[in-house]
Amino acid sequence: EIVLTQSPATLSLSPGERATLSCRASQSVSSYLAWYQQKPNQAPRLLIYGASNRATGIPARFSGSGSGTDFTLTISSLEPEDFAVYYCQQRSISWTFGQGTKVEIK
């Protein structure tokens, strides 16, 4: 089973700052990696698929990069609505999720 490890567990930042979230896979997942945002009491929302493709309606401040085992989600300038939990997920070999990174207001 492919394990996805996200870091950091919590990121404390202020609105307007840049957020950089990491996801590392225990073996190569090629570009079969997605990122989701989840707010309290809501279903997750797809942000990025195929490691770097923004989903429909996702603002340009969200970007994804990486391939193989190391991936990054970048939020270029945090808006108040971006404070949430972010999960990476691979679908290269079966499906698994990372444990999540919480982006909180500093």
**Residue whose C-alpha is closest to residue 67's, from 86, 48, 87:** 48
Point out which residues bind other proteins (CB under 8 A).
1, 34, 36, 38, 43-46, 49-50, 55-56, 87, 89, 91, 94-100
- Residue 83 Cβ, how far from other proteins at the closest point, in Å? 17
Q: Kindly state the tokens that stand for 16.
A: 């307007």
- Residue 35 Cβ, how far from other proteins at the closest point, in Å? 9
**Residue whose C-alpha is closest to residue 87's, from 58, 27, 26, 45:** 45
- Residue 44 Cβ, how far from other proteins at the closest point, in Å? 6
